[in-house]
Chain A
Amino acid sequence: GAVVSQHPSWVICKSGTSVKIECRSLDFQATTMFWYRQFPKQSLMLMATSNEGSKATYEQGVEKDKFLINHASLTLSTLTVTSAHPEDSSFYICSAGTRTSGRPDTQYFGPGTRLTVL
């Protein structure tokens, strides 16, 4: 149980185009979804937190107009990288959280999406 999928697993795009990444919780409903970015040989950096039906909360330094997050249902969140540039090339990972009473969300991670912007 607690499987999270991402699509696509990798994508190559031209500079200036937009790319959409999907994150789905396959066998559970996620109260919260998180988007991370990971550069080579570095740790995961949280980009934003999203709750179903409400606007995402972005971390300091993350441009909300560039990284559009939509969380339309309890099982699907999307991240759109708008007007992508080579410096946006990275490994994007989502996680989906389930809440246990009295405890923080347990986060289950997707397999990641490798974005390469030419």
Chain B
Amino acid sequence: GESVGLHLPTLSVQEGDNSIINCAYSNSASDYFIWYKQESGKGPQFIIDIRSNMDKRQGQRVTVLLNKTVKHLSLQIAATQPGDSAVYFCAENTGTASKLTFGTGTRLQVTL
């Protein structure tokens, strides 16, 4: 669906704590999901992806969890650092020409 609203949800975490960013997706037929990080004034940066035949995938300091039953995706960042401060978007592949549909985004603020 469309992204509406002028205020991004914000998650504030202390440096060193773990962060969990959540995303609800809309299309039950989506079979590929990606998390992107976007810093101010820059393009999205790939973090991690997961296909629908998996429910968990780990990367370096990041873990993505997929719950297809409730159409929910989460990104866990371990030992959050100031450099992790950014807006995080989940995106789902709709299966048509590899188009991505982006979620509304969550701003992560890391406090010292």
Give A contacts to B, CB under 8 Å.
4, 6, 32, 34, 40-46, 49, 57, 91, 93, 95, 97, 99, 103-112, 114
What is the number of contacts between chain A and chain B, taking CB atoms within 8 Å? 66
Interface of A is mostly: strand
Whether B97 sits at the interface, judged by CB under 8 Å, is yes
Which residue of the partner chain B has the closest CB to A104? B98
Which residue of the partner chain B has the closest CB to A42? B3
Give B contacts to A, CB under 8 Å.
2-8, 32, 36, 41-46, 49, 51, 89, 93, 95, 97-105
Query: Sorted from nearest, which 5 A-B pairs have the closest CB atoms?
Result: A43-B3, A105-B98, A109-B43, A104-B98, A43-B102
Once the chains are docked, how many angstroms separate the CA of A97 from the CA of B32? 15
User: Which residues of chain B come closer than 8 Å to A107, judged between CB atoms?
Assistant: 46, 98, 100
Contact A43 B98 (CB under 8 A): no
Which of B4, B45, B97 is in CB contact (< 8 Å) with A109? B45
User: Which residues of chain B come closer than 8 Å to A45, judged between CB atoms?
Assistant: 2-3, 102
User: Which residues of chain B come closer than 8 Å to A114, judged between CB atoms?
Assistant: 41
Once the chains are docked, how many angstroms separate the CA of A45 from the CA of B103? 10
Contact A46 B7 (CB under 8 A): no
Once the chains are docked, how many angstroms separate the CA of A40 from the CA of B3? 12
Once the chains are docked, how many angstroms separate the CA of A42 from the CA of B44? 13
CB distance from B39 to the nearest CB of A (A): 10
User: Which residues of chain A come closer than 8 Å to B93, judged between CB atoms?
Assistant: 104
